[in-house]
Amino acid sequence: MSYVDEIKQRVKVQNPSQPEFNQAVEEVLESVRAVVERNEERYRREALLERLTMPERNFTFTIPWVDDNGNVQVNRGYRVQFNGAIGPYKGGLRFHPTVNLSVMKFLSFEQTFKNSLTGLPMGGAKGGSDFDPKGKSDREIMRFCQSFMTELHRYIGADEDVPAGDIGVGAREIGYMFGQYRRIRGAYKGGVLTGKGLSYGGSLARTEATGYGLLYITQEILKCNGHDLAGKTVVVSGAGNVATYAIQKAWELGAKPVTCSDSTGWIYDPEGIDVATLREVKEVRRARLTEYAALRPNAQYHEGKGVWTVKCDVALPCATQNELLIDDAKALVANGCMAVIEGANMPTSLDATKYLQDNGVLFCPGKASNAGGVAVSGLEMSQNSERRSWTFEEVDEMLKGIMIRIFHNLDDAAREYGMEGNYVAGANIAGFLKVADAMMSQGVV
Ligand code: NDP
Ligand code: 2IT
């Protein structure tokens, strides 16, 4: 049996109840098959793939907190430090009821390759909790964040592990967690978290970075394939941090974003999604998209899923994992969609990805196309350690440069291994090579 097949089998046997983790591993191992074949004996001798598919460290903890009625609530917390070969562990925190060990492991595994692609020195990690922020008061969120950090603080640090936001964790939650960290440690250690507020060490453009970066790489991918993003109709899923700033940048680059969605329904706005209204509904009121429809009489609100049925040129999944399945891929192809560029982490299932690629749709995986968020987190870490702040324009320029470099690196890697245009293979190969080289250089550790 080939080394890749042996490890695929081993991961399945060792993690039988972790479908998301197995899905992420399957994609990466298939992509790097040709690279592994060229170095099979050496990699096997060093057990490289065994080590690369196991988290280096994995913490699970209990988070007790008191709700507004005085009742004790208990949630489960996680931090998975997947691979630290190229830098301190780095990756977001997710608060959502679907969080479990499989989701944490898939996200931290993906993060390892994503962080490698940015060109910055960051290892891969992820954390979070099954806590559901929906319907919680601000005080409840604060008490939960404080209890979460009371446990998490033991495992993190500017040179050890640097968390940030993800689903359900934005500036408010990072603020509460930073406050608790500062109180526990009795010192101001700004570099321990990224996505901080601007008044206490945050970076300009971090809020916008993932969505903006997604559109910079989308523009470059279209350009290199003979198309212009300007004038294109774009469908977006999600209505959170990534979706909102993807929509804003799509407008700025001359495209027309016509949809967004949340966990209960979706909007089709024939005039294009109005960013100010979306931000008012989601960032200020923290409400459902029904309120968007109430404020925009020409917009249509539908319950459930459905954005992929809308005719478009470009599709940007920006909500969550496995939100674009085979039937959605078929609908997109039938409607003439030319590009699917992932804003979320692993939003497209493996069979849907293959269908899109087989039908000539330009497809870029999230570990490349959503890397702008963690890249600007890396820039926030640099600013914190230098105790200085760059302007919005400076950070935005660096972000644009990083996204364009990521695309050309993965495009070149795909060509080098005879898979021109396969950006999934290119991203996984380019991300893998740096991590593998660092691991081999550092010996058996
Ligand atoms: P937010 O919490 O800001 O927004 C998430 C959005 O997706 C919300 O509109 C939410 O709906 C919707 N959503 C979440 N889970 C589900 C679900 N299970 N089913 C349907 N809809 C869902 O998160 P982000 O925008 O930060 O993250 C979105 C994606 O982007 C995630 O995959 C994340 O891992 C990825 N990502 C985020 C980065 C960042 O910097 N924030 C960086 C790179 C990737 P509702 O409003 O109802 O909650
Ligand atoms: O998935 C991701 O890359 C993030 N949620 C951002 C991580 C970070 O450390 O900024």
The reply to whether 43 and 175 lie within a common domain is no
Catalytic-labelled residue, pool 126, 136, 282, 400: 126
Structural tokens at position 122: 């960051």
What is the position in ligand 2's atom list of the atom closest to the CA of 374?
10
Is the pTM here over 0.95, yes or no? Answer: yes
CATH classification at residue 280: 3.40.50.720
CA distance 140 to 143: 5
Determine, yes or no, domain membership for 381.
Answer: no
Residue recorded with tokens 């300007």? 230
DSSP string, 269-310: -TT---HHHHHIIIIIS---THHHHHH-TT-EEEESS-GGGS
| Residues 119, 49 share a domain | no
Residue 117 Cα, ligand 1 centroid: separation in angstroms?
22
If asked whether residues 361 and 231 sit together in one domain, one would say: yes
Does a structural domain hold residue 94? yes
Q: Which atom of ligand 2 is nearest to the CA of 206?
A: 10
- Domain residues for 235? 209-369
On whether both 132 and 261 belong to a single domain, the answer is no
Strands 314-317 and 233-237: parallel
346, 377, 381, 395: residue to mutate for ligand 2 pocket, most atoms within 8 A of CB: 377
Instruction: Give yes or no for residue 194 CB within 6 A of ligand 1.
Output: no
Q: Judge if the beta carbon of residue 319 lies within 6 A of ligand 1.
A: yes
Taking alpha carbons only, the member of 369, 394, 370 closest to residue 380 is 394
Q: Which residue among 322, 351, 369 closes a domain?
A: 369
Task: Determine the atom of ligand 1 nearest the C-alpha atom of 98.
Answer: 18
Domain assignment of residue 230, yes or no: yes
CA of 92 to the centre of ligand 2 (A): 4
Same-domain status, 171 and 248: no
**348 and 220, same domain (yes or no):** yes
Nearest CA to 370 out of 169, 114, 87 is that of 114
Q: How far apart are CA 346 and CA 8, in angstroms?
A: 18
Q: What is the helix (H) or strand (E) element at residue 184, kind and residue range?
A: helix 171-185
Q: Are residues 49 and 3 in the same domain?
A: yes
Structural domains of the chain, count: 3
CA distance 193 to 161: 9
Please report the pLDDT score of residue 187 as a whole number.
86
pLDDT per position in the chain (445 positions), as tens? 999 999 999 999 999 999 999 999 999 999 999 999 999 999 999 999 999 999 999 999 999 999 999 999 999 999 999 999 999 999 999 999 999 999 999 999 999 999 999 999 999 999 999 999 999 999 999 999 999 999 999 999 999 999 999 999 999 999 999 999 999 999 888 899 999 999 999 999 999 999 999 999 999 999 999 999 999 999 999 999 999 999 999 999 999 999 999 999 999 999 999 999 999 999 999 999 999 999 999 999 999 999 999 999 999 999 999 999 999 999 999 999 999 999 999 999 999 999 999 999 999 999 999 999 999 999 999 999 999 999 999 999 999 999 999 999 999 999 999 999 999 999 999 999 999 999 999 999 9
What is the Å distance from ligand 2's center to 271 Cα?
32
Pocket of ligand 2 (CB under 6 A): 90-92, 111, 114, 164, 166, 194, 345, 373-374, 377
Query: Among 95, 96, 242, which is best to mutate for testing ligand 1, by the most ligand atoms less than 8 A from CB?
Result: 242
Residue 426 lies in a domain: no
Q: Is 77 helix (H, G, I), strand (E, B) or coil?
A: strand
| Candidate of 166, 285, 301, 377 to mutate for ligand 1, largest count of ligand atoms within 8 Å of Cβ | 166
Domain match, 216 and 356 both:
yes
CA dihedral of residues 305, 306, 308, 311 (deg, nearest 10)? -170
Do both 72 and 155 map to the same domain? yes
One-letter amino acid for residue 281 of the chain: V
Instruction: Tell me 202's DSSP state.
Output: P
- Asked whether residue 213 falls in the same domain as residue 345, the answer is yes
CA of 1 to the centre of ligand 2 (A): 36
Centroid of ligand 1 to alpha carbon of 239 (angstroms): 7
Nearest to 1 by CA among 28, 37, 38, 42: 37
Nearest residue (by CA) to ligand 1, atom 19, is: 263
User: What are the tokens at 225?
Assistant: 């394939």
Domain boundary among 187, 217, 247: 187
CATH of the domain at 123: 3.40.50.10860
> At which residue do the structure tokens 């706005």 appear?
269
Q: Across 251-405, where does the E strand assignment appear?
A: 256-257, 259-261, 265-268, 300-303, 314-317, 339-341, 362-364
199 in any annotated domain? no
> Is 398 a domain residue?
no
Q: Ligand 1 pocket, 239 CB below 6 A? A: yes
Tell me whether residue 367 is one of the annotated catalytic residues.
Answer: no
Per DSSP, the residues of 83-116 read E-SSSSEEEEEEE-TT--HHHHHHHHHHHHHHHH
Last residue of a domain, which of 341, 369, 397? 369
* Distance from Cα 69 to the centre of ligand 2, integer Å: 34
Query: What are 309's two structure tokens?
Result: 């049925």
The single-letter DSSP state of residue 72 is E
User: In whole angstroms, how far apart are CA 217 and each of 17, 214, 241, 350, 407?
Assistant: 35, 5, 17, 22, 7
Angle between helices 241-252 and 206-224 (to 10 degrees): 50
Atom of ligand 2 nearest to the CA of 165: 5
User: Is 263 within a domain?
Assistant: yes
Looking at the structure, tell me whether residues 62 and 117 fall in a common domain. yes
Task: Quote the ligand 2 centre to 114 CA distance (angstroms).
Answer: 9
Question: Is the Cβ–Cβ distance between 80 and 108 less than 8 Å?
Answer: yes
Residue 443 lies in a domain: no
Same structural domain, 228 and 316:
yes
Residue nearest to atom 7 of ligand 1 (CA): 319
